[in-house]
Amino acid sequence: MKLKHRATLSILALAVVSSVGSIGLACLQLKPQRAAVDVVINTGIVAELNGVHDALKDIPPSMRNGVLARHGVGSGQALDDSLEAQRSHLAQAEQARAQELQSAGKRSALLLVLTLFNACASALAAIWLYESYRAPHRRSTP
């Protein structure tokens, strides 16, 4: 086997391996992104608690306990503590989402590189195989 044929087969083998890797990366890209759900839920909770907290400032002190009781909070201090805890959960969820997006971006970049390599390797190997097929036929033609 000629060196050119070995090189062609080696490039095709690398293209097959990178294709399998691309399929694996594509599967990872399609997995559900769980951190987004936590961000949405915690954002809603923090927004509601912020609304109650802001509304308490405008409500007369005699009515505050009734408003707090309707929202399942015993006192203004408990509301503040709950709001701080939810803000902390939201910050953690946002950080997890940022890490999830960063890793998805890296996988996308790698997937793009593997796809470009596959396209170039397949085209190059096809050209070389065609040339090796046509070479004996050109010599035999008068």
Q: What is the pLDDT of residue 137?
A: 65
Q: Tell me the pTM.
A: 0.67
pLDDT tens digits along 71-128: 777 777 888 888 899 999 999 999 999 999 999 999 999 999 988 988 888 888 788 7
Eight-class DSSP state of 60: -
> What's at 87, amino acid-wise?
R
pLDDT at 16: 86
Task: Say what the pLDDT of residue 101 is.
Answer: 92
* Spatial CB neighbours of 15, under 8 Å, sequence gap ≥ 6: 117, 118, 121, 122, 125
